[in-house]
């Protein structure tokens, strides 16, 4: 069974690592890895391949940045050629980025089966590009691998046949479980002079938070007033906006806020695991903090990962920066007893690959 596995952006790399490992371990599968090049800076891409021991991609489509249409179209054109050359039995896509939708669409129109890992998540907010990517990918996928029960419900409501849907757990958590030893042993926080549970980690990159000058200024002000060290590895999109809005001088006025370059997987998770709390708008980090039992404040009005709120450590703060300080104070005081969601046990990739092999034999 020849499987073309597609990745493009940072969270995809974390998800594909355990799948590639499992596919290479099992007989009867020939995995081929395609990197679309949606993310290309070393600290957004190569560093993750090294940290997570992901094999060098067989193809790099080098599409780079652009408008949604430009990026999606470039991926489609280049990926169609790869499909024509490799003639895979299956294309496997992960997550909800533009690379996910573009490659699923190409494959399906060539009559190639599509597997979507992390299917069924819904924010019900169609202004988010990721929501459109999720809806469309799930509408055409042949195998839908679901991370949490809300995904099963959403797909049922959308009329997806239940023979295509498999509740398998979370491959991002597979990667976390696999690397927990290294994350716990890391001395990176110490090297930065950070003391366990005395600092807050921030990551923000969603257009709703970082593309508006007023919002971004408000967030910087709010974080500058937190009475703990705040460490913020800044996504390139966010940094570009900070430069454009001339906000980079502001944090220097207050010593508690430290803006640093994006980190590799091991360094980043080693900070998250030791943080007092995390402030984010990322999807994956809501899940990782739930597993690590670290309070997570999500600066969004909605989440497509509700289990992180019902069982985990996640709280929706909304997008008004004035809500950050009270929400943080409450999260640090709260005595929650978070639980790890069902099947987030480090074995999701094994389940997925077993199902694919079984389906191929049918």
| Contact flag: residue 39 with ligand UD1 (CB under 6 A) | yes
Q: Judged by CB under 6 A, does residue 11 bind ligand UD1? A: yes
Q: Candidates 19, 33, 34, 38: give the one binding ligand UD1 (CB under 6 A).
A: 38
Q: How many residues bind ligand UD1 (CB under 6 A)?
A: 18
Maximum distance among all alpha carbons in the chain? Answer: 65
Least distance (Å) from ligand UD1 to the CB of residue 235?
Answer: 6
Q: Is 15 one of the binding residues for ligand UD1 (CB under 6 A)?
A: no
Question: Does residue 98 interact with ligand UD1 by CB under 6 A?
Answer: yes
One residue of 6, 9, 273, 299 binding ligand UD1 per CB under 6 A: 9
- Binder of ligand UD1 out of 55, 218, 236, 318 (CB under 6 A): 236
The nearest distance, CB 98 to ligand UD1, in angstroms, is: 4
In the numeric block, the tokens 């009270």 are attached to 326
Residue with tokens 């046949």: 161
The phi, psi pair for 259, rounded to 5°, reads -95, 125
CA 34 vs CA 5, 94, 170: distances in Å: 6, 12, 21
Work out whether 221 is an interface residue with ligand UD1 (CB under 6 A). no
- For residues 326 and 157, give the distance between their C-alpha atoms in angstroms, rounded to a whole number: 37
109-148 residues in contact with ligand UD1 (CB under 6 A) are 129-130
Window contacting ligand UD1 (CB under 6 A); options: 9-17, 54-62, 182-190, 302-310: 9-17
CB 17, CB 42: distance < 8 Å: no
Contact status: 70 vs ligand UD1 (CB under 6 A): no
Among 28, 30, 50, 65, binds ligand UD1 (CB under 6 A): 65
Which one of residues 19, 97, 222, 297 is an interface residue with ligand UD1 (CB under 6 A)? 97
Is 220 near ligand UD1 (CB under 6 A)? no
Q: Which of 116, 205, 235, 347 is catalytic?
A: 205
Comparing CB distances to ligand UD1, the nearer of 221 and 239 is 239
Cα torsion angle, 270, 276, 279, 283, sign: positive
Please list, residue by residue across 235-269, b when 16 or more beta carbons sit within 10 angstroms of its beta carbon and e when fewer do: bbebbebbeebebeeebeeeebbbbeebbbbbbbb
116 is catalytic: no
Residues between 275 and 334 with contacts to ligand UD1, criterion CB under 6 A: none
Based on the shown chain and the rule CB under 6 A, indicate whether residue 76 belongs to the binding site for ligand UD1: no
Buried (b) or exposed (e) across 331-345, using 16+ Cβ within 10 A? beeeeeebebbebbe
DSSP character for 193?
T
Indicate the DSSP class of residue 285: H
Q: What is the DSSP annotation of 288-357?
A: HHHHHT--EEE-SS--S-THHHHTSSEEE--S-GGGHHHHHHHHHH------PPTT-SS-HHHHHHHHHH
DSSP letters, 68-102, are HHHHHHHHHHHHHHHHHHH--SEEEEESSSHHHHH
Give least dist CB 296 to ligand UD1, A. Answer: 15
**Smaller CB distance to ligand UD1: residue 12 or 229?**
12
Residue 252 is given by DSSP the state: G
The residues pairing with 30 across neighbouring beta strands, listed in sequence order, are 2
Angstrom distance (rounded) from CA 215 to CA 202: 15
Which of 3, 4, 10, 61: binder of ligand UD1 (CB under 6 A)? Answer: 10
Please state the closest distance from residue 132 (CB atom) to ligand UD1, in A.
Answer: 9
Nearer to ligand UD1, 65 or 310 (CB): 65
104-112, 234-242, 294-302, 345-353 -> range binding ligand UD1 (CB under 6 A)? 234-242
Where does this chain touch ligand UD1 (CB under 6 A) — which range of 40-48, 82-90, 253-261, 306-314?
40-48
Which string of DSSP letters, residue by residue, matches 39-66? S-SGGGTHHHHHHTTPPPPSEE------
User: Catalytic positions, please?
Assistant: 205
Q: Give me the residues that bind ligand UD1 (CB under 6 A), please.
A: 9-11, 38-41, 44, 65, 96-98, 129-130, 205, 236-237, 240
């Amino acid at each position: 069974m020849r499987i073309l596995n597609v990745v493009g952006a940072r969270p995809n790399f974390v998800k594909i690592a355990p799948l590639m490992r499992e596919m290479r371990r099992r007989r009867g599968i020939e995995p081929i890895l395609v990197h679309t090049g949606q993310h290309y800076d070393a600290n957004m891409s190569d560093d993750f391949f090294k940290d997570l021991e992901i094999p060098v991609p067989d193809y790099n489509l080098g599409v780079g940045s652009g408008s949604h249409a430009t990026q999606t179209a470039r991926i489609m054109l280049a990926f169609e050629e790869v499909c024509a050359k490799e003639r895979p039995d299956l294309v496997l896509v992960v997550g909800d980025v533009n690379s996910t939708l573009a490659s699923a669409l190409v494959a399906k129109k060539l009559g190639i089966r599509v597997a979507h890992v992390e299917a069924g998540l819904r924010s019900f907010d169609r202004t988010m590009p990721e929501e459109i990517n999720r809806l469309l990918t799930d509408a055409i996928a042949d195998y839908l691998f679901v991370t949490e029960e809300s995904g099963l419900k959403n797909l049922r409501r959308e009329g997806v046949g239940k023979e295509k849907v498999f509740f398998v757990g979370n491959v991002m958590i597979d990667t976390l479980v696999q690397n927990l030893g290294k994350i716990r042993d890391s001395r990176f926080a110490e090297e930065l002079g950070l003391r366990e549970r005395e600092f807050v980690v921030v990551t923000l990159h969603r257009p709703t938070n970082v593309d508006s000058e007023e919002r971004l200024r408000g967030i910087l002000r709010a974080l500058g007033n937190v009475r703990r060290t705040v460490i913020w590895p800044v996504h390139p999109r966010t940094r570009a906006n900070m430069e454009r809005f001339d906000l980079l001088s502001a944090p220097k006025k207050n010593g508690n806020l430290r803006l640093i370059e994006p980190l590799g997987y091991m360094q980043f998770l080693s900070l998250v695991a030791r943080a007092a709390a995390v402030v984010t708008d990322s999807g994956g980090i809501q899940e990782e903090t739930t597993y690590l039992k670290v309070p997570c404040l999500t600066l969004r009005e909605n989440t497509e990962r509700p289990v992180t709120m019902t069982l985990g450590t996640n709280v929706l703060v909304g997008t008004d920066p004035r809500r950050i300080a009270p929400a943080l104070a409450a999260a640090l005081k709260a005595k929650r007893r978070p639980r790890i969601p069902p099947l987030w046990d480090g074995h999701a990739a094994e389940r997925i690959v077993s199902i694919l092999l079984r389906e191929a034999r049918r």
